[in-house]
Amino acid sequence: MLAWEALDEIEALFKSRYATFENFKDLAVFSRHESEGRLHCEVMVYFSPATDVLAKEIKARPCQRPAPSGLSLLAGSGESWATLFPGHDVKNHS
């Protein structure tokens, strides 16, 4: 429940930083609710490599590319799915 404010802030930062890059298909931020069997879930946010400046700004840690299953596009072009997850059917994503 508390994650929505942080997600809104990340989305606003993305839009302000990358407003002039609207057509760049490799600029995207994704999110996913992950519970791993726990009662409460965590909201994980994944930044594409092209958004590394923003990720560093909010002190995100590097990680492996996430599996596309269950991801939602938080900010960026809808076309980023095909660029960042080639070969995956975007119809199965939020």
Residue 90's pLDDT is 60
Q: What is the pTM of this model?
A: 0.83
Q: pLDDT digit string (tens) for 49-67?
A: 999 999 999 999 999 999 9
Q: With bands split at pLDDT 50, 70 and 90, how would you rate the model's confidence at 37?
A: low
CA 75, CA 7: separation in Å to the nearest integer? Answer: 10
Domain ranges of the chain: 3-92
By CB neighbour count within 10 A (0-12 exposed, 13-18 middle, 19+ buried), where does 32 fall? buried
